[in-house]
Structures are given as structure tokens and as C-alpha cells.
Amino acid sequence: MRFGLFTSMGAQTWEGVLDLWRHVEATGWDVACVTDHFMPNTPEREGPMLEAWSTLAALAVSVPRIRIGTIVLGNTYRHPAVVAKMAAQVDIISGGRLLLGLGAGWQENEHEAYGIPFHTTRERLERLDEACQVLKSLWTRSRSDFAGRYYRLSNAPLDPKPVQKPHPELMLGGGGERVTLRIVAKHADHWNVWGGPQVLARKGAILDEHCTAVGRDPKTITRSANMVLLITDKKDEIDRLAETIATRLGRHVADARDTCLAGTPEQIRDQLRQLQAARVGVLFIPSLFRPLDALRRDMDRFIAEIAPAFR
């Protein structure tokens, strides 16, 4: 398994993010990703939010070893041809370390505030499907033509090309079982979802079915989970964390508990063994939900004491 950091861009400073990423690189983590939002998901719409792409480009130079990426870009915010160009440049700057995470888009208040069309769920997913085709075509062909329902290319170049061949790793985020996972089966190199062993086992089996339907070997898709880390021997602390996750993500507490990578070191090792059984290849620890100082201490313990046995 590989282990990564999932950094929220909200309530952050550039100096704070840079310090955190340099720390996780120095302590042996494998990958770090930024979120893609313009403002907090609150009625007040107040608070700092760093911009994803410009921050990532700067981090690509400042943090030279680990893989860098996005969890996940909102496809509604930018034309996929623009994303393809930006991604190619960051892949070049980083020396071929970009993990391009993409999702259909979900934060409605941003769309309302900035006049960005939100569309129906169905249309956002259809746009995501087309965007994947646009990205891969521009990354791999000298000239691209595409005539979709939502996007069009006409003899479109993309030069210079990304460093990674045939193209940067394309990660799709989401757990929708009927449509999203079918798009993953068709286009993704990597699938990312919130959840732990139970979610990844259940939805992973559904992804396998979609892969069979489209003629794809499911083993060619890397699977990653986002889980909140808490090293503790106190059950009440785990209960409070699960309740916080349930509230913030709008989930049932039972599902939120599955998203907790929590307990004693041995209990966490057992969860990791279950993730391996569900064919999870990458684990992301989000910087949300816990004070950063406390999370950072647990991350240091995790990468030093727990992770080595699973690499």
C-alpha cells in the first residue's frame, strides 16, 4: 500500500500548507493532494480558501519527491481542455508526479455565488464522462477532434505533452453505484472514495461488475480510500469522531464509523489488513475533522510504527 495526505485548502495559509507538505515528505509519506474549492460550504460563505491549481504548481517545485495531486477537481469549474493543459504543465513542473483527480462537482453554493451552472446530477455525470475522453485525447494525440453533447474539440493541439506516458494518472472520485462507478470502469486509472473496509468491499464488487460489462480488467484500476486517522484507546473519542464525520459528510453514523481509521495501533493494523483484502492500494488521511497539531502527531506515529508493515 501507499499512504497519502488529503489537504483541505480551507482555513489554511500558504505557509502552513507548505510546512505540512514538507513535513510529510520528510517523514516518508508517498503522496499528497489538495482540494478544489473557492469558498467554504457554509451559509455564511466566509473564510479563506486557497486556490488548488496555483497552490499545487508551487508545491510541485517546493516538495520534490512525493506524488502530488487533486482530490478532486470539480469538473463543472473548468472546460476539460483547460484542465488538460494545466495538468500537462504541472506534470512537467513536477517531473511526472501528477495524480489528476476529477469529480462531477457537488458544492452548490459555489456555483450559485459565482454564476457557474450547476446542472442536474445526471448532466454533471454525463459531462464527467465526456471530460475524461477530452483529457485523454489531448494528452495522447497530436491533434484532437471531439464532438460530444457538452464539449467539442476541433483540430485541437496540446503541446508540450505531459511527462507521464501514455498520460498522467487519472483518478475519479465518487461512489455512485449505477453511474459514477461505470464511468470509473470506462475511463479511470484510479478510483477514490470516502470510506473504509466495508464501503470499499461493497462498492469495489460493484465496480468489478461494471468493469466486466465494459470489457475492462478491474485489476488495472488502483483503488484508494479516504479515512480519518485517530490513534487512541478511548472508545468515546472514536464515537465523537464518527459523529463529527457523519455531520460534516451527511452520512449515517454507521458509515462514518467505517470511515474512521481509529483505535489502538493493532486495531488500525487490522483495518489496514481489511483494506488490503478489498484491494485498496492507496490510503489517504484527510486533514479535516481534527486539529492539525493532534493529527500531525498521529500521522507521525502512523507512518513510523504502522505503515511499514503494509508497504
pLDDT value of residue 253: 79
Q: Is 311 helix (H, G, I), strand (E, B) or coil?
A: coil
What residue ranges define each of the domains in the chain, with the CATH number in brackets? 2-226+265-310 (3.20.20.30)
Give tens-digit pLDDT for 290-309: 999 999 999 999 999 999 99
Q: Is 71's pLDDT higher than 90?
A: yes
Work out the burial of residue 68: count CB atoms within 10 Å of its CB; fewer than 13 is exposed, 13-18 middle, 19 or more buried.
buried
* pLDDT tens digit sequence for 252-289: 877 899 999 999 999 999 999 999 999 999 999 999 89
Using alpha carbons only, give the angle 147, 172, 207 rounded to the nearest 5 degrees.
100
Q: Can you tell me the mean pLDDT for 138-153?
A: 98
pLDDT of 160 over the 80 cut: yes
Q: How many C-alpha atoms does 81 have within 13 Å on its Cβ side?
A: 15
- CA 55/CA 177 separation, integer angstroms: 32
pLDDT of 44 above 80: yes
pLDDT of residue 249: 87
pLDDT at 167: 98
State yes or no: pLDDT of 62 exceeds 80. yes
Q: Which amino acid is at 170?
A: L
Question: Model confidence over 87-99: pLDDT tens digits?
Answer: 999 999 999 999 9
- What is the value of pTM for the model shown? 0.97
Predicted pLDDT of residue 42: 87
Q: Are 130 and 138 contacting, i.e. CB atoms less than 8 angstroms apart?
A: no
Predicted confidence (pLDDT) per residue in 8-24, tens digit: 999 999 999 999 999 99
